[in-house]
Chain A
Amino acid sequence: MQKAYLMALFELAEKDPNVLLLLADSGTAYDELFKKYLPNQILDFGIAEENMVAAAGGMASCGKIPFVYTASTFLAYRSFEFIRNDVCLQNANVKFVGMGEGMSWSTLGPTHHTTEELALLRVLPNLIVLSPSCPSAVGQCVKFAYQHQGPVYIRIGMGGEPELYDKPVDVLKNQTLKDGSDISIFATGSVINEALKAAEMLSLKGVSAKVIDVCAISPFDRENVIAEVKSKRGIVTVEEHNVVGGLGSIVSEIVAEEGLKVNLLKLGIQHGFAKGYGTLAQVREQNGLDHNSIEREISAWLSNGGAK
């Protein structure tokens, strides 16, 4: 997804000199493109995220379109008040790109995991929060962010995620990746790949699970949730994020606000910090977010009458 992000950004920056790439000593190999061809459009602020975000607000007030790019945990947590005051409160045209969704920094442990930021950021007025699942969705998010006048946050993975779309999609609308009639699984980010495999496993057991890709966390495609809730026996949410405040909470809110009745299974980090080290696949396993665990949890939930 990193490559997709920087290639999409480079394409925009080549055409529009107001597009700037801001880093906090946080580059990747792909930055070389900017350094070589657009050296005046890449600015490294050093390991100082708060000032970088405040400066991005100032640049936006002078007509620039800064894309602020660093590890999502340092961006969202350390700079939160700056995102709030200097960008969202000003409705400044700043774009944030958080490098490393969920547990992407899988060998580095909980200080590097971003398992609460969707909850934090979705409460901010004016901020669009996007959590794409695959490289082409990242490209679409970058294009959307550029065209949208106002702040946008994009959470991206770093693990060479597989492509899921053969044509550009509307990032503000939920997308069905696999059809099904018994239950619907809403997933956000690249962990949807685990949900897709789990759905295949469920189909062998006679459970028809629809898998829906949720890119836009805020604003949220409410109508899609309402339609699924009304037509399914149960709803599952899967997120590489704390189940408190993220996708599962959003769906719960919609269900309650609409006065609907449905059983809901929220899969994700169960209000703790992510455990363990290893590859992303291994860390997902240790935290119940691999396809086997997801399938097991859903099957158990179904057999306990979870979905009526």
Chain B
Amino acid sequence: MEEIGKRIRKKMFLTAYGQKAAHLAPAFSVAEIVYVLYKKILKFDVKNPNWKDRDRFILSKGHASLAQYVMLNEVGILSDEKLNSFCSPGNSIGGEVNPHDCPGIEVSTGSLGHGLGFGVGQAIALKIDKSPAKVYVVVGNGEINEGVVWESVMAAHKFSLDNLVVILDDNKIQKMGYTADTMKIRSWKEKWEAFGWQVDEIKDGHNMDEIYDVLSKPNEANKPRVVIANTIKGKGVSIMEGDPNWHWRMPNKKELGVFMEELNITPEEIEQCKKRI
């Protein structure tokens, strides 16, 4: 299980390496969550990504695009060549997810606070159509500073969206610092409960068994559900873990050695990346 996490992170890193900056730490934070969603939870058709009864997955913290693009590649929706075009000119994919660039993306995200409202709309439409599909939205703990998120939270309760699951990537850090400092918020549970949501928790957001156990539970009737996942920003590389400075940067030459060692990256693989760019 740990090996899978390491392999996925290595793939994310090699996809992005060579760019001046990438959101490695935010993507590493949700690596296991996005992996479990694609491998065990989401119902979708690789040959028909627009299948009308597919489960919807929205990465509202779109800057973690590496996590979703790598998984779209793992399940066979995104080609190796396209994955390797990350942040390059031409017919490519970018640092935030966009449906125009790649099948399997529901909506452009990147401006924070949009994905949940879009997902609320999808959940309403799917309920009207009596579709069995569910909507899964990953939001960041910094992202939910945005007021509109709470508009969406109210609407999901009002419309009794028991086909909606939000996964809150609670890594305790936002762009410039700790969430407990930035907005003096230490706990989210009672806030979502107060809005009428079912609240579940994943104690270790990097433990795939626990992620699966919690995500595979059903929503209570008529209730939207939030799963608060305790994660570590930059998980998987010791020098990034829990350090706000890594929100959007690449390792320098000295730091690269730590990445290579901890993610089992060979010098040849680094050379191949350089050639690609």
Contacts and interface: CB of A to CB of B under 8 A. Distances in A.
Interface of A: 40, 43, 45-46, 48, 50-64, 66, 81-82, 85-86, 89-90
B155 A82 contact: no
B117 A50 contact: yes
- State the majority secondary structure of interface residues on B: helix
Interface of B: 52, 99, 106-108, 111, 113-114, 116-126, 128-129, 148, 151-152, 154-155, 158-159
A60 B123 CA distance: 11
Given A50-B148, A54-B114, A89 B121 contact: no
Contact of A43 (B99, B116, B118, B124): B124
Contacts, number: 96
A55 B155 contact: yes
Contacts of B148: 48, 50-51, 54, 82
Nearest to B115: A54
A58 B154 contact: no
Given A54-B114, A57-B118, A58-B118, A64 B125 contact: yes
Nearest to A91: B100
B69 to A, nearest CB: 19
A57 B151 contact: no
Contact of B117 (A61, A62, A86, A89): A86
B107 A90 contact: yes
A58 B122 contact: yes
A54 B125 contact: no
B157 to A, nearest CB: 11
Contact of B125 (A40, A62, A85, A86): A62
25 contacts: A40-B128, A45-B155, A50-B151, A51-B117, A51-B120, A51-B148, A54-B117, A54-B148, A55-B121, A55-B155, A57-B107, A57-B117, A57-B118, A58-B119, A58-B123, A59-B121, A60-B121, A61-B106, A61-B125, A62-B122, A62-B126, A63-B129, A86-B114, A86-B118, A90-B99
A58 B155 contact: no
Given A40-B128, A85-B108, A90-B107, A59 B117 contact: no
A86 B158 CA distance: 21
A61 B56 CA distance: 11
Given A50-B151, A51-B151, A63-B125, A58 B158 contact: no
The 7 closest A-B pairs by CB, nearest first: A58-B121, A54-B117, A55-B121, A62-B125, A51-B151, A48-B151, A58-B122
A32 B120 CA distance: 25
Contact of A48 (B52, B99, B155, B159): B155
A46 B158 contact: yes
Contacts of B117: 50-55, 57-58, 82, 86
B134 to A, nearest CB: 13
Contacts of A64: 125, 128
Contact of B155 (A46, A57, A60): A46
A54 B118 contact: yes
